Structure 1
Amino acid sequence: MDEILHQLGELVLGSVPTIVLFVLLTAAYSVLVRRPLDRVLAERRARTLGAVEQARGAMATAEAETSAYEEKLRNAKREIFESRERRRKQWSDEREAALAEVRTQAQQRIQTARQDIERSTADARSRIESATGELSTLVLNAVLPVEPVATEVAQ
């Protein structure tokens, strides 16, 4: 067992430089590699989070601008529609006014034509009435001869 302990002591004694070297390497790694790496990673994380926040902000701004543009587009479409409706109403009013004027003119022409017809009818009636006396005389003369009646009365 002494031999085993002796070999074990030699192994431990032989491993001391390795342990010291391991501790030195770990310390050097910590100082030279890990701390700068942690710093770079923290900076990268901060930049990444900053970029993500910037991207979110840009997206929010873009959404706000998109909403504003959509609102402007809706307003423009509404104005165009209202303008069309106003023009359509104006044209309709103008058409109705023109139709009313044409109707008035047609009514005046009809009234004038009726008056002309009534004058012609009255004229024709007066001619017929004046001709009635002459026609009745002619009919009476044709049916009843005037001269033989006068001779009979004289006899």
Structure 2
Amino acid sequence: MKVAIVHDWLVTYAGAEKVLEQIINLFPSADLYTLVDFLSDDSRGFIHNKQTKTTFIQNLPRASKNYRNYFPLFPYAIEQFDLSGYDLIISSSHCAAKGVLIGPDQLHICYCHSPVRYAWDLQHQYLAESGYKKGIKGGDSQIFTSQVSNLG
């Protein structure tokens, strides 16, 4: 059985990555896909030093520090992975990885973490740090905040 693991992004070792580590331990020969991978060479042990397949977001300006600014592109980017050669796709997702496209003869299992914190409980901090509370963009942040509040 050919297995692919899809994870939102690899930039640190935190809670979601601890889950990813266990999934990789169960499927050590699986291929690993992610939106972006900015792990340093010395912090790749938990993914068994796997080479990852990333999206076009990896190469966008300042993505290594500000990949979250490309949030609106995440669903489109994750859908660009060609996973047609896999029998089993396991996504570890709190954001976009669960949106991978699969065929009718493939099984997709998603370990769904809590939603992206910066869109829910840290929304005001995220908007302030990203500059979306100032100027013309500030009006949009009020719309975003009210839409997110209405969802919860």
TM-score interval for Structure 1 and Structure 2 normalised by the shorter chain: under 0.3
Larger radius of gyration: 1
Superposition TM-score, scaled by structure 2 size: 0.16
Superposition TM-score, scaled by structure 1 size: 0.15
